[in-house]
Amino acid sequence: MTNTTTPKLGLTKAVPGTAQAISRLTHFNNNWDILEALLDDVDEKSSLSTFSPTAVAGFTVGNGSLIGRNMKLGSLAIVKVEFLAGSTSTFSGVFEIGSFPNAAVAQLGGVHMIGGIAYTEHVSTGSTHIGSLRANNTATGVYVVVPAGRISNIVPFAWVNPDVFKFIAIYECAP
């Protein structure tokens, strides 16, 4: 009897109760890897569109990168945003990201923001943090929340080149 099966995503699915399954549960307990794999699988098959998110507050991109990919599914949009800090990126407060394509309203707060999951990595130490995504009800952006609080110049760590944050969000589209 084999201990694995291969689903459409190309991920190896462990048979429940095996050592591999227990290891997999520990690895995927934050759901980030699963969501990212799903979105990457969709991207391979249907080619997500790219867009240019903006740094609304808390940081400047400098020579780093801030990129976005998105797709519209009926009345919902799914976006993936990735920020890689560069040597000239600056950090000054709570990070807020904006300029989402197909948004029903400029403010994604309230019923318009379905939810999101976020990931940060302090590359020099290898520490990673999983969090959620929250819409700012009074502005045009969203911010990321990790257990230590909203991502900022000092949360969950002091940001430097080449630290990373990524998030995947789902929100209501304009009609």
In tens, the pLDDT along 142-170 reads: 777 777 788 899 999 999 999 999 888 88
Per-residue tokens: 137: 């009800």
Rounded Cα distance between 152 and 169, Å, is 19
Rounded Cα distance between 62 and 83, Å, is 11
- Nearest to 78, CA basis, from 44, 43, 31, 107: 43
Kindly indicate the confidence band of residue 140, based on its pLDDT and cuts at 50, 70 and 90: low
CB 59 within 8 A of CB 153: yes
Give the single-character DSSP code of 173.
Answer: B
Q: What distances in angstroms separate CA 37 from CA 8, 40, 50, 123, one per listed residue?
A: 11, 5, 18, 21
Helix (H) or strand (E) holding 174, with range, is none
19-28 and 32-46 are packed helices; what angle lies between their axes, rounded to 10 degrees? Answer: 90
What is the identity of the amino acid at 6?
T
Q: Can you tell me which residue has the tokens 């230590």?
A: 148
Kindly indicate the confidence band of residue 31, based on its pLDDT and cuts at 50, 70 and 90: low
Q: Can you tell me which residue has the tokens 């019923």?
A: 111
Which residues have CB under 8 Å from 31's CB, separation 6+? 117, 130
pLDDT (tens digit per residue) in 112-126? 677 788 888 899 998
Rounded Cα distance between 171 and 148, Å, is 25
The answer on pLDDT for 18 being more than 90 is no
Mean pLDDT of 26-47: 60
pLDDT of residue 3: 41
CB 12 within 8 A of CB 23: no
pLDDT (tens digit per residue) in 73-109? 888 888 889 999 999 999 999 888 888 887 766 555 5
